[in-house]
A and B are shown apart, each in its own frame.
Chain A
């Protein structure tokens, strides 16, 4: 689909929508994504401050806990923007354009091959981004696990530790505060790595800024 007429100049890219057919990331998704990104950075920083008060001094422990609590609630509220959007719009299909396991694995291996070899040779990505087929199989499976399992578990464990007394029953059921905390920290460790890799992969577009710009404008540029 070569709908982009010619290479638009740098300033045009911000103003003009290159192709109305390639409106990939609608406003709620963009709002959710960037608020979530900001929230995660603050949560990781304040969380690191809480856990390693002896190594960092970005803010006092009290401020760190207070910030962590408030931002966490904002991130939880924001999660429902994402969930609400996908539950109440037909865009939910972006996660499952086709329920075909064979095709899924074939495409997944093609994507892995691309990241391992093709990308270095300047080959085009095997996945073509479309409004109802947004993710490559690797993205699709990763984001589903993260958003439907990892993130909710992180919210739940965090909520329990926000008011230990109120959630005493649940904490005991899960095996004690130490268990709940360990799960929360393990997921934090995962997100430290995830955020870095996610940002790097975001820079693997046509130019390092391409995917970042797409996430602001909502329009896919690479086709």
Chain B
């Protein structure tokens, strides 16, 4: 024990002090250096690959086509004449303003305007190339006893004929949300001819920005939101954005043209925005704390559509496979399954019970599913109301102020088997519920989904922090007074 060290030590002490002080400054320098490096290092662009969807024709195929064309050059003229002759045979009747009564009682125009058809992209193609059945002497008529049930059914039936020539595009379309809806029996989801028209066939290279055709036909409110947005205005006015070669986007730039997807589910949408706005990651890093996380979980429109109503969108995430959990085909919707569990009145978190029951974890598979959350806008319409960036929301409080949470909705979403997201409303309290803490362990937003138990603990700590000193002090005073009285 060194009790009672003398002043002789103080010189050594001073030396130790000096060396420690020097160390402190070195530590500070190193820390600020590290910090500075972190601030200035350009973050990796987390944009996922933008798929190049364009149809690519192999050079060999082009060569083959050239050779065939050269061989057949002599034939081309005669073949064309033949096609026109054949088509002329059809157009003789179908050029007239005629309608046909269908099985459903509606009448369908069977008129094909000669000029329109000849000037269309298919002008040099014979009618029977598509109407193959008719070519096989099966022209619908009283004599052949072939009839058409409805215009829609005929369009869906005819849709397959596009596949013959447009294989890639057709495959892309088959994977789209439109085709999925058609397969489900939707009477509105478009087939090829709804956008490209049946006979006045057009390529969509010249998208009708002002009229919104063809998307606006079904998505009118969304198109109107788009056309008032910074993107729509720039495009309609013919302005280019930033670099002269980049034009403001039209529908298909974000949603693609044939493999149309709903962009509601996180990453694809973000990748689409970053695809053009390349430097956004860096720009956000410069001022936004945890910029990477914000860009991961906050949909761009949440801040960039300043008047949008927002919501917390919870989704199930498989931590082992590292993908969102998708609704299995033919399975009862998740909402109903969870509601059924809740109705049983079982104790505990319905999701935990659902996880145990749903068979995951059988065959030794690891179960590690949690709820993750994203900030989304409430509707597809608001998602398109992107404003000029000077109007973007920059106040943290609009999401992180606890009361702002109370105004926001909470939804649970699960991507369906067809790729579309199904959302249903959830209880707001779910975010701060102690019981649900395990399910939402991966979701936490500052000032937001606070655990109320911790608030009470803080209150208790604050009270004890005040009560201990006050109590001890008062007790001391009382005892001293008693002692003084005793002495007197």
Tell me whether chain A's interface is mostly helix, strand or loop, or mixed: helix
Tell me how far the C-beta of B286 lies from the nearest C-beta in chain A, rounded to whole angstroms: 13
Contact B17 A178 (CB under 8 A): no
- Asked whether A172 is an interface residue with its Cβ less than 8 Å from the other chain, the reply is yes
The smallest C-beta distance from A110 to any residue of chain B, in angstroms, reads: 17
Chain A residues lying within 8 Å of B396, measured Cβ to Cβ, are 60-62, 65
Tally of B interface residues using CB under 8 Å: 63
Distance between A66 CB and nearest chain B CB, rounded to angstroms = 7
Q: A165-B296, A189-B461, A192-B461 are in contact. Are A120 and B397 (CB under 8 A)?
A: no
User: Which B residues are CB-close (under 8 A) to A177?
Assistant: 441-444
B480–A120 CB distance below 8 A: yes
**B457 and A189 form a contact (CB under 8 A):** yes
Q: Per a CB cutoff under 8 Å, which of A80, A161, A175 touches B441?
A: A175
Nearest chain B residue, comparing its CB with the CB of A204? B472
Q: Once the chains bind, are A193 and B462 in contact (CB under 8 Å)?
A: yes
The answer to whether B462 touches A192, judged by C-beta atoms less than 8 angstroms apart, is: yes
Q: Are B444's CB and A178's CB within 8 A?
A: yes
Pairwise interchain contact B454-A28, C-beta atoms closer than 8 A: no
Query: Which residues of chain A are within 8 angstroms of B395 by Cβ–Cβ distance?
Result: 60-62
Closest to B291 in A: A165
A52 to B5, CA, bound (A): 50
Taking a contact as CB atoms under 8 Å apart, the answer to whether B28 and A133 are in contact is: no
Q: A179-B441, A200-B472 are in contact. Are A54 and B401 (CB under 8 A)?
A: yes
Question: A98: CB under 8 A from chain B?
Answer: yes
Question: Judging by beta carbons under 8 Å apart, are B440 and A65 in contact?
Answer: no
- Chain B nearest CB: distance from A31 CB in Å? 7
Considering only residues 169-198 of chain A, those with a C-beta below 8 Å from chain B are 172, 175-179, 181-182, 185-186, 188-190, 192-197
Asked if B185 lies at the interface with its beta carbon under 8 angstroms from chain A, I say no
Q: Could you tell me which residues of chain A, from 57 to 84, have a CB within 8 Å of some CB in chain B?
A: 60-62, 65-66, 69, 73, 76-78, 80-81, 84
Q: Secondary structure of the B side of the interface?
A: helix
User: Which residue in B296, B403, B458, B465 is a CB contact (below 8 Å) of A54?
Assistant: B403
Instruction: Out of B31, B290, B458, B469, name the residue touching A192 (CB < 8 Å).
Output: B458
Q: State whether the Cβ of B292 lies closer than 8 Å to any Cβ in chain A.
A: yes
A58, B118: Cα distance in complex, Å: 74
The interface centre, meaning the residue of B3, B319, B464 with most chain A CB atoms within 10 A of its CB, is B3
Q: Is residue A20 contacting chain B, with contact meaning CB distance below 8 A?
A: yes
A50 & B446 in contact (Cβ 8 Å cutoff): yes
Q: Using Cβ atoms and an 8 Å threshold, which residues of chain A touch B472?
A: 115, 200
B321: Cβ under 8 A from any A Cβ:
no
Query: Contact between A172 and B319 (Cβ–Cβ < 8 Å)?
Result: yes
Q: Which of A7-15, A85-93, A137-145, A147-155 contacts B (4 or more CB under 8 A)?
A: A85-93
Contact assessment for A178 and B13 in the assembled complex, using a CB-CB cutoff below 8 Å: no
Enumerate chain A residues within 8 angstroms of B464, measured Cβ to Cβ: 193
Decide if A77 touches B28 in the complex (CB within 8 Å): yes
A101 to chain B, nearest CB (A): 16
Q: Is A119 an interface residue (CB 8 A)?
A: yes
Residues of the A chain whose Cβ atoms lie less than 8 Å from the Cβ of B13: 23, 26, 89
Please pick, from A53, A165, A189, A194, the residue contacting B400 in the complex, using a CB distance under 8 A: A53
- Do A165 and B465 have beta carbons less than 8 Å apart? no
Contacts of B293 in A (CB 8 A): 164-165
Q: Is the CB of B447 within 8 A of A131?
A: no
Chain A CB within 8 A of B10 CB? yes
CB neighbours of A62 from chain B (8 A) = 395-396
Partner of B451, one of A28, A98, A182: A182
Can you list 22 A-B pairs, Cβ within 8 angstroms, ordered by A? A26-B16, A27-B21, A31-B24, A53-B400, A69-B289, A77-B28, A81-B23, A84-B24, A89-B13, A98-B1, A119-B476, A120-B475, A161-B290, A163-B292, A165-B293, A165-B296, A176-B370, A178-B441, A178-B444, A182-B451, A192-B465, A196-B465
Interface residues, chain A, CB within 8 Å of chain B? 20-21, 23, 26-28, 31, 50-54, 60-62, 65-66, 69, 73, 76-78, 80-81, 84-85, 88-91, 93, 97-98, 115, 119-122, 130-133, 161-166, 172, 175-179, 181-182, 185-186, 188-190, 192-197, 199-200
Cβ-closest 10 pairs across A and B:
A176-B441, A196-B465, A200-B469, A165-B292, A132-B2, A120-B479, A193-B465, A61-B396, A193-B461, A28-B20
